[in-house]
Chains A and B, each alone.
Chain A
């Protein structure tokens, strides 16, 4: 009797796992197919685009760059300088010092010859207290505004920026990111392109800059890291940005614009309440809330996405920092999906409610849990002697080779599009990474996500300290 029930359970378990695996694998392939189509179209169009059109006109959208900074004293001088020298005319840079404990403010005041100013602004989104606002006496830095505020976290700092921004579009960035010189030109264009729908946000591709060479705040040489952890993250970012987000853009179902680099329609961002400081996934949450706001108000809108590599960031090189980052990402995902649970499978939100949110729920939020559960049950099967080793090994190979194939598809897309890694040595490094990833990186990523679940259950809040090594300079 007991054996019969056990076998039935095993049968049911196998069916569910197989259906889940087939769904997840086919969804990756469908998204990759759509992404590649979208990417090809974008590149074709882009070969005829003259971005200088935006440089030479007063009609270019006016942008406010918001860069929250917390204890960035080591790099803030150079980073702000690079933000002030982007190829664009109609923009201002708002650096929000979020109560740093280091000497960031002193450095900014001395380097940029800052003086206190009385800048009038309306507090449309409640934030922690703004202590002072500074502007430079030097005309060369007239675009710069520095805000000193009480510590309240990244979302709070971004909200201060939204309150102070004088332009209709805001570009929210991580102050330590390396931006491409033309990044603002490319990010601003979609806001001009739609006549029927309002473009409420535009996102750009983020790539990994570890071991790349930086000169005067600009990336001058692209390299692939020797260390395995950041190297595989290069591959992971390629897959996510080239084979994932482009498809969501095509479907108009994009839920996430990276916090490191994204532009927003300020009016809609404020009307939908600004960044939520209660979540650690404030970037995803804002996009979902802005979209939800537009749906609720029945306003035609779209979210755009640029596949060009416009922003370069440093990936964690140590296991501890990586774990902190990924567990935070998982907490952010859980929090966003929970806040907007009303959208789940809700046809009122069209594709967003019926596909995007369920996709994130089943394949981003639940996947690590299901994987972990699978491992536990496999262990139980081994103990009970129920495991068919032959099939088990075939199944492992099946998953392994799918993962390798999918990474190689990403490498092929990169090769045929941006070709940012021309050195054969770098390509082979990435290929090696693709072979090792399922055995080395993936288990760590799953573990970090499980830590994220646990932190959420325990009620952990905040980001935790995220120390960075810094870029290699020339």
Chain B
């Protein structure tokens, strides 16, 4: 302490400290300024390239969808060979395939799925699944689920137990997309609470997926996890599954949670009076 005091008193440190700090502040400012400029110019360049790529991607995909072309003929084109090696182009191509697949059904969707498989874009998605970064994993899951790659189902069940909420939601939504009601019955044994936001996302996936077979949803009501039971009740209420009333009555008789009991009674009440609000 005394040494520090002596050093302080000697004042020899003051000038170098101030001068070097000023240099450091100026340096950081200049570096950040340069980084901002680089970031801006990269953004502009990428946007320009993406616009350019979009034109050729659109032309190519539309010729596959509505024409007679297929991946076999396209992969021989010189333009495609050179562009396909560029990561930005491949990303854009994958994004366009996924977007189109969301908008088309039937034979068109099948054509896009074949293209996804033959062009090895599927491998790009699988690579993302292996990533250590959850956000990249999420992207991969979304792509594979959208393209109906059902062989990833078991991997998704594992991922759905993740602590990372976003990853969990993405995996559960993918499970529902690929396997309907069976996609979430594994939640019965789920130990962690599922928050309302996650529940609403699962509910939305159900609504979006137009899932007709709802057999097994009632199993959620038997879970020891109250949030899973609450999710089951929400699904039954939203999809208006009045045939499940018997299971709800059973739940009311057996549960010792007042909150669940009230939620269950509310669902039954809505079955009787669909236009009424909560009891």
Residues of A within 8 A of B (CB): 11, 15, 44-45, 47-50, 52-54, 56-60, 189, 192-196, 390-391, 394-395, 397-398, 401-402, 404-405, 408-409, 411-412, 415-416, 419, 424, 427, 431
Contacts and interface: CB of A to CB of B under 8 A. Distances in A.
Contacts of A47: 135
A58 B203 CA distance: 11
Nearest to B139: A48
Contacts of B35: 412
Nearest to B17: A398
A57 B238 contact: yes
Contact of A48 (B22, B170, B238): B170
A42 to B, nearest CB: 11
Contact of A54 (B14, B36, B166, B200): B200
Contact of B201 (A50, A58, A60, A194): A50
Interface in B88-133: none
Given A195-B193, A391-B15, A398-B18, 20 more contacts: A15-B8, A48-B166, A49-B166, A50-B204, A56-B204, A56-B207, A57-B204, A58-B238, A193-B197, A195-B227, A391-B14, A394-B19, A394-B22, A398-B21, A401-B22, A405-B25, A408-B29, A408-B33, A409-B28, A427-B40
Chain A interface main SS type: helix
Given A409-B32, A412-B35, A401 B25 contact: yes
Find the residue from B25, B35, B204 having the highest chain A CB count within 10 A. Answer: B25
9 contacts: A48-B142, A53-B200, A391-B14, A391-B15, A394-B19, A401-B26, A412-B32, A412-B36, A431-B33
A195 B193 CA distance: 7
B25 A53 contact: no
Given A405-B28, A415-B40, A394 B204 contact: no
Chain B interface main SS type: helix
B235 to A, nearest CB: 11
Contacts of A405: 25-26, 28-29, 32
Interface in B26-42: 26, 28-29, 32-33, 35-36, 39-40
A394 B20 CA distance: 11
B190 interface: no
B147 interface: no
A394 B25 CA distance: 13
A59 B39 contact: no
A419 B29 CA distance: 19
A370 to B, nearest CB: 19
B255 interface: no
Given A50-B201, A405-B28, A424 B40 contact: yes
Contacts of A391: 14-15, 18
Contacts of B165: 45, 193
B138 interface: yes
